[in-house]
Amino acid sequence: MCGIAGIIGDYKSVQLDAMLTSQYHRGPDSTGRFFDEGFAALGHNRLAIIDLSPQSNQPFLDSSGRYSLVFNGEIYNYIELKAQLQEQYTFKTESDTEVLLAAYLVYGAACLQKCNGMFAFAIWDAQEKKLFAARDRFGVKPFFYALKDNSLYFSSEIKAIHAAGISKIPNENVWASYFAYGSYGNPEETFWEGISQLSGGHFLEYENQELHIKKWYSFEEEVAKQPQNLTFEQAKAHYVALLKDSINLRFRADVPVGFTISGGLDSSVLLALVNLQKEGSGNINATIKSRKSATVTQQSRINAYTFYSDNPDYDELPWVEQMIAKTNNPLTTVLLQADEVPDLSEKMAWQQDEPYGGIPTLAYAKIFEQARKDKVLVLLDGQGMDEQWAGYDYYTQENDIIIQGITDSPFKTNILANSFLNKAQKPVYPKPFEDVILNKQYRDLFYTKIPRALRFNDRISMLYSTELREPFLDYRLVEFAFSLPLDFKIKSGITKFMLREIASEYLDDNLVFAPKRPLQTPQREWLAEDLKEWVTHCFATIKTSSFSAWFDLKELRTELDLYFEGNQNSSFHLWQCISLYWMIQK
């Protein structure tokens, strides 16, 4: 896991240095630069995970020196790919980085279809003076870019592009849509003028100051290719096989691996399968892979991490401890307290560059901080199950609200000035499938829930120089589960039905059939009580800032007063304003 940066066209070396410095936290193990004088500057911040040797530092050049690669992510099936390429490429490292470059040299853009992983990378062809860059299927790893003065700038974080000299100007249309509809922008948008992101499943080519973007991954087509007319038991067996293989692949690392856990079904399944996996004669409860043999060396059971707030109405710690008691994994608990929120939210705002998911994001970040202290550099989590198995309550409801557990609209458009509100655009999402629920799942996978969570989580983990892996977002799992009949997913009002059937073979019924608990921290209470003075300060700052023109200040004050008086069904509108407050400070 790393940070990539580059300038194609006119550049100054100090610009690249500034970009790399701004995202140093993404890769503190090595900083590398490559210059094709007058044409391109590439930079890389390395967090060493696979093949820790200096030979795998980046930018990584092929033996001819024609191609140079900067890569952020992991190619989980790199061992299998390497075996396919052995006769066509002479390898000098044990890294997935070199395998990715070799795959591109042999297959061209078609290499993307062969990669099972999370990735954002760029390859410079010094002979043709051409850049090729791509992003993984679901956009797990970020790729931001900007065009200015006949040059292309790209990086892993928005702040790096600003560091290179691109002005930091709010994209008011995206901000307005965020306040009015809770939208975090379309897949290609950011909250800042002039800075775009390459959508997941797309690649770009830049040559002679011309930019071309193409879609390389068609989820709809892949879903149509899935096995049809399977019985429930056949489908379950196939999914379990894919799930075990996905988890197995994501244990490939040359550094310690751990995982995050909550009291929910998804992380319970992850816990159970992690401890059941086999590699050779031993359990995959180890953390180190032998590069030569690709086997797993047996160690103690891997570390599990969870957070809590010391509030029994929200904490999932009792369920977590109940699960862990059966597997005996070491459990590290991380406490978030209300008085930590102002300082942590400032730090997180700097890292995120854009609005993020509130106090639960801060609690989750503390896990990665602790893992780094423990020298556990890779964590797995359970993101992606709800979207592939139709696990949210709103999938079966006739409304457009996509916040779990909220029935009333959390958006307060009355606080916005009409001139600003008019810039908002209600999101309209594609509906490529005939089924209503499938289209909601598709929306959440590619436009709302997953892109948002992946963005938050990448920046959380990278802030503390750790790597987050998402075994449930293996494209094979998502495509197959998505393609299954609805009654395999929802039956007799029970969501994620097949997944619960799978889990019942490993877990107690009180865990398998526990209701989903959408609220993870006492954010609503803290903002109204413990943090009331701080929240009041944030709102007062907005009223005296240049952004005050975005608001109807009287309505803004009224909504704040109503919240403090007890109208706390949702705190989202307060967090929106706090997000803007930190952008004002920066």
Residues marked as catalytic? 2
- 8 Å CB contact between 301 and 552: no
Q: Which of 117, 32, 44, 28 is nearest to 81 (CA)?
A: 117
The token pair at 199 is 């959508």
Degrees (nearest 5) of the Cα angle 367, 369, 373? 115
Q: Report the DSSP pairing between strands 202-207 and 210-215.
A: antiparallel
Strand partners, 260: 305
Q: Give the number of other Cβ atoms within 10 Å of residue 556's Cβ.
A: 22
Give the list of residues 6+ apart from residue 83 with CB closer than 8 angstroms, or none: none
Q: Give the number of other Cβ atoms within 10 Å of residue 325's Cβ.
A: 10
The token pair at 313 is 């109405």
| DSSP character at residue 395 | G
Phi, psi of 185, deg, nearest 5: 95, 160
Q: Per the annotation, does 96 bind a ligand?
A: yes
Strand partners, 153: 7, 146
Which amino acid would we find at residue 569? N
487 SS3 class: helix
Which amino acid would we find at residue 419? S
Strand partners, 145: 154, 196
E strand segments, 208-280: 210-215, 257-260, 278-279
Element (H or E) spanning 144, and its range? Answer: strand 144-148
Positions at the binding site? 96
Positions at the binding site for L-glutamine? 96
